[in-house]
Amino acid sequence: MTGAGRASLRALLERAGVTAAPGIHDALTGRIVARAGHRAAYLGGNAMALGLGKGQPFITLTETARIVASVARAIDLPLLVDAGAGFGDTTHLHLAVREIEAAGAGGLHIDDQVYPKSVNYHRGRGALVEDAVMAARLAAAVAARRDPDFAIVARTDVLRVTGSLDQAIDRCRSCIAAGADALMILDLGPGQAAAVRAALPETPLVWIGGVAPPVPSLPDLGEAGFALACYPFNGIAAIATSLADLWEGLAASGTIGQPDDLLARARKEALDLADMQLFWDIEDGRAPGGA
């Protein structure tokens, strides 16, 4: 991504109002989000890992950077990327920032979970590092970036692990002091955001959710003061359930239950997603995009 692309992510974080960043996991889902008219996209660690057929704790820096690069080549939206707990100590994190930035991201977020990530996280048994460790992670990330517009977002799981909003705000203060450009507080809902905005009025808030109902509306999130809304699981949920229904139906009945109009729409949209008109123009000797 160009410097202008990174600047646009920072501008979205700093502008009034909220911007949706739908969750994607590859170039195809990125193009679907871009064609829908969104202005940003989110590459979550769980979605990227599931796209590779494994759980979030096992995705590597190499795999993450490869996915970011493929998406950045396919779409021109600012990308916020999940860098987890930094893929190791601060030296590994330095490399991670360089790799993810070079791959084309507009920013990344770093969390305060322990490393290596525990498989117990997804059954509600998260563990946190100390303030000093998280601060060191963020300071290392800030020092590693080449473009000052590359956004460093601090994600904290303190609210989920402790249930204390006050403790989460204290952790956020430490993150800001270490150089974080924005904050992502796991499980923070619109009703709690006012307390965070009052305590930390100058720092943009990033919402992350949609994994379990009820899912706040985008207007509600904007009114609460969130700058960016990330939906890490909803796209994966749509894909997983739709494909499961399709192929389980074929196994049970021996027939594909998709209506003709769905297949016709999908054929057209798939060709559009692949930019085939461009290549047809080239094949036919016309200027790309010409008549």
> Are the beta carbons of 112 and 157 closer than 8 angstroms?
yes
DSSP 113: B
Estimate to the nearest angstrom the gap between the alpha carbon of 140 and the chain centroid: 21
Measuring CA to CA, how many Å separate 217 from each of 15, 70, 82, 226, 244?
Answer: 19, 30, 23, 12, 27
Closest CA to 80 of 55, 45, 115: 45
Residue 272: both structure tokens together: 């559009």
Domain coordinates in residue numbering, the chain:
3-239, 258-291
Q: Report, at the CATH architecture level, how domain 3-239 is classified.
A: Alpha-Beta Barrel (3.20)
As a whole number of Å, the end-to-end CA separation of the chain is: 30
Residues of the chain with pLDDT under 50: none
- The pLDDT tens digits for 195-216 are 999 999 999 999 999 999 999 9
Which long-range contacts does 63-68 make (Cβ < 8 Å, 24+ apart)? 64/96, 64/99, 64/100, 65/99, 65/100, 65/102, 65/103, 66/103, 67/25, 67/26, 67/43, 68/43, 68/100, 68/103, 68/104, 68/105
Count Cβ neighbours within 10 Å for each residue of 213-237 and write b for 16 or more, e otherwise.
Answer: eeebebebbbebbbbbbbbbbebbe
DSSP conformation letters of 235-262: HHHHHHHHHHHHHHHHHHHSS----HHH
- The pLDDT tens digits for 154-203 are 999 999 999 999 999 999 999 999 999 999 999 999 999 999 999 999 99
- pLDDT for 289 equals 64
Beta-bridge partner residues of 204: none
DSSP conformation letters of 222-236: HHHTEEEEEESSHHH
DSSP 15: S
CA distance 31 to 275: 10
> Are the beta carbons of 65 and 108 closer than 8 angstroms?
no
CA distance 49 to 56: 5
Q: Is 152 exposed, middle or buried (0-12, 13-18, 19+ CB in 10 A)?
A: buried
Beta-bridge partner residues of 107: 80, 151
Backbone φ and ψ of 137, nearest 5°: -60, -50
